[in-house]
Amino acid sequence: MEIDGQSALVFGGASGLGAATSRALHERGASVVIADLNAEKGEALASELGDRARFAEANVMESEPVEAAVAAAAEAEGGLRISVCCAGIGWAQRVAGKQGPHDLEIFHNVIKVNLIGTFNVLRHACSVMASNEPDEGGERGVCVNTASIAAFDGQIGQVAYAASKGGVVGLTLPAARDMASRGVRVMTIAPGLFDTPLLAALPEEQREALGAGIPFPSRLGLPEEYAELACHVAENTMLNGETIRLDGALRMPPK
């Protein structure tokens, strides 16, 4: 799919991986709806990008705001063609420890945001994409989800996070098969250690140590590198129903 001239939607699009993706899609000529909970950052990014960019305040856990953000992107000529979901949260707690069993409400919330929230975006995006006019190759749209290498190499304390991201990996192929007859592709990117706001709070020494543990390149990933892959997924029609690890060959140890 040619990105230039298409309408795109990025959830979690105001910071980190999502902001880099919003910028990359916009630079390639897409009209971008930046959906996020943080109105201040979202509006600032939309203002920075200027024409062909606007902000939509939305929580991935709520159906109506997600549906409204999808509808806003679908208003563009040709309809919504590219949807990227980067929204997510993390949490660290063991199944059982000195303080007792893992907090069930926290586990539920991580699953709700990372897995159910991702599916909420996916179902609404796929629904509107299915009514688009197909391009010359029969394609109507592409959805890119965000998992994590924790889905495969979950560490001690990552039971909730790894379960939520493993669910995103698990839904990718059946969702792609569901939408194949409508010409809508579904893909997932599983990033490793990236230089995002989540890691920005760590001391520089600790950040450098994390990067040094990556085989090559021995540094934290850049949000722009995630964005480059998301754009390539949109452009390469043969990519469908798969999860791509973006991790510099990192395999996480138990802790």
Cβ atoms 114, 86 nearer than 8 A:
no
* 3-28: average pLDDT: 98
Cα dihedral sign, 165-242-225-182: negative
Q: Place 255 in a pLDDT band, splitting at 50, 70 and 90.
A: confident
Q: How far apart are CA 111 and CA 104, in angstroms?
A: 11
The predicted pLDDT at position 204 comes to: 85
Per-residue pLDDT reduced to its tens digit, 231-250: 999 999 999 999 999 999 99
Q: What is the DSSP letter of 114?
A: I
The one-character DSSP state at 130 is T
Q: Which two tokens stand for residue 188?
A: 């997932």
| pLDDT tens by residue, 48-60 | 999 999 999 999 9
Q: What is the pLDDT of residue 202?
A: 73
Task: Show me where the domains of the chain are located.
Answer: 7-192+222-246
Half-sphere exposure of 195 (CA within 13 A, CB side): 16
CA 96 – CA 94 distance, rounded (Å): 5
CA distances (Å), origin 119, targets 16, 168, 190:
20, 8, 16
| pLDDT average, residue stretch 170-197 | 96
Q: Look at the chain and count its residues.
A: 255
Percentage of residues in the chain with pLDDT exceeding 90? 90
Q: How far is CA 137 from the centre of its chain?
A: 25
What residues are annotated to the active site?
161
Q: Token pair of 33, please?
A: 């709806």
Asked if pLDDT for residue 198 goes beyond 80, the answer is no
Model confidence at 142: pLDDT above 90: yes
Please report, in angstroms and rounded to a whole number, the separation of the first and last CA atoms in the chain. 40
Q: Any idea what DSSP says for residue 28?
A: T
Question: What pTM was estimated for this model as a whole?
Answer: 0.96
CATH number of 7-192+222-246: 3.40.50.720
Position 249 scores a pLDDT of 97
Mean pLDDT of the chain: 96
Strand intervals (E) in the chain:
7-11, 31-36, 53-57, 80-85, 96-97, 100-101, 141-146, 184-191, 243-246
- Grade residue 200 by pLDDT with cuts at 50, 70 and 90: confident
pLDDT bin (cut points 50, 70, 90) of residue 102 is: very high
